[in-house]
Structure 1
Amino acid sequence: MIKKQVLSIALALGVLFSVCTPTKVMADSNIDVKDFIEKSELNKYIDDEKSVESLKELSKNAVSATSSEYYVRYVADEDNNVAMDPKKYTEEEYNEFKNTEEAVNELTNITGYSLNTTPERSNSWIHLRFESYKAPDGQYDFYIFYDWKNKPMWTGKDVISLGYTSNITVDTTSVRSHHTQLMNNPITSEPYYSSQDYNYLNNSNCKTDLNGIAFKFDLPSSPDTWPAFYNGYMTAKGRFSNTQHTSATMEMAYTHQQIGFAYNIQDAINFLTTGKVEIKMVSTYDVFRAADEFLRY
């Protein structure tokens, strides 16, 4: 039986912290915004017209920015039962883990003896990153990026979402998401590329509410021997509801479906006034949560 685990973590804008001990954080006043934009995950999507427009807009208007990120690992046993590693990995830890796996696999190919006690594709990684940008007029651009570093062990209909308290007002007409899939035929080396784009008008894939936004998207399946890569993002423009508000609770949630059942995003996701995202999906899934007290900066 595939195990369902919920990893609840809090993701400060630049600092990882516990849900039990909320931390107030602000943007680094010494940050080089131009350099920050050049290193943004958004640069992965320069083949997408809207992404390029967003990069130009940020380069023109952003005066400060923040970000935070983490890596999460799925582990499967020989029966393909999946469990989520509770450890939150940094980029450095992820790279060390990946380099070790590659070295073991290379030695196995040379000697013909397997030194890995776990089956092939036993580890599956996802990288999640939050970015926010502030314009001179007080408007914020929020981005949530996801990047599967290798093929997920299970593919279905995933959801990426952002919840927030009433101290934040989001322009729902600005809400959109972009998702890409790249598969490679190992025999012909021919790549297969596809993408999905949604906005606030796509009711079957997008839910907007006074306290949150969410996008449902497909992780297309592929033959087991085919390498496949999935990544994308969601974005929205928002601002504090009035000048008296100095902070707001925000929660990012990435819901990864393991056993697929059809579901309606309007019913599966609920946004609470506390800023939390409630998942009511009739399926087997994992939820990655990241919450923070977002300070005006």
Structure 2
Amino acid sequence: MFYLFSKSILVEIGFKDQIYYIGNEKFNSIPDYLLNNCYSSGNWNRALKYKTAINEVDKKYFMLDVEVYWNLTSKKIELISKIFFFSEIINSKHFRETFLNTLLTHYFKHTLKILKPKEINKNFIKVYKPEISKDNLRINNFDNFLVLNEEISFKNKKFKSINKVEGKDAFSWNVNKLNQIVYSFSHEILEKDTLLKNTDFIDLNNSLFYINSLSKLNKNLVLEFCVYDKKTRDKLMQKMIKQIKMSNDSLANWHLFNLTKDIKYLKIELSKISENIISPEEYLKQVYSKLKRNYEKELLNL
């Protein structure tokens, strides 16, 4: 069982002539502790209500917390309540057919989503052990991220430099109108890896792989995952470093520092400056004129 999310729903309880109605079911009795904790009004603007199918009855309302799980063995969505009385009700055929989609749609109403389902199955969950990452498409800071999915727009994201995979061409870069550096790497950096295949973007600073996908279990269920995998990230970084070095770019060490945050690349540049006729100040001005990025703080800490 893989936990997905929790949701509170307002369960409508109809009652008439000592008979109680929930959904399309009727009960001769309901535990007193539930009735004593009911609300007399269901006039809650944002509450999700599971209404009784029976009309012309008096009504009470119980706020029920429901946990939503993915049963990896049966490949089904399962609902669990800590209140035993409601367990069969929320897993009944009527609830599933008339209310489950409403519950999912309501929970993900404001969620940004990628519409194409990915190959996320039982084996993927067991191997990579993803964590839930709610609203991962709303992450704002994309500094030193690697974008793998072309559907991900980083136009309005915050970053000093960002990386993307684009075509079969070798390493390249450009500075946009916001003075942000956009690095492009060829597809050769990507292995045939299930994690990379499903990943939309990677936080290279923290080895976090973000995934957003509609579920094949139900089109209204959005899978928002984050996977920590330093080993895969390190392999990827080595290939990116190799592409930068092979490019013979005159600013390669600056690019390598932007990618790795390793000050050894700045030290190499400083040693080059000392061997050059040009003054350090003039050289750094030239670097700034090309990269539009100031490295004074980093250089002062060397």
Q: Which TM-score applies when normalising by structure 1?
A: 0.22
Considering Cα pairs closer than 8 Å and 6+ residues apart, tell me whether 1 or 2 has the greater RCO. 1
More strand, by proportion? 1
More helix, by proportion? 2
- Structure having the higher Rg: 2
Q: Which TM-score applies when normalising by structure 2?
A: 0.21
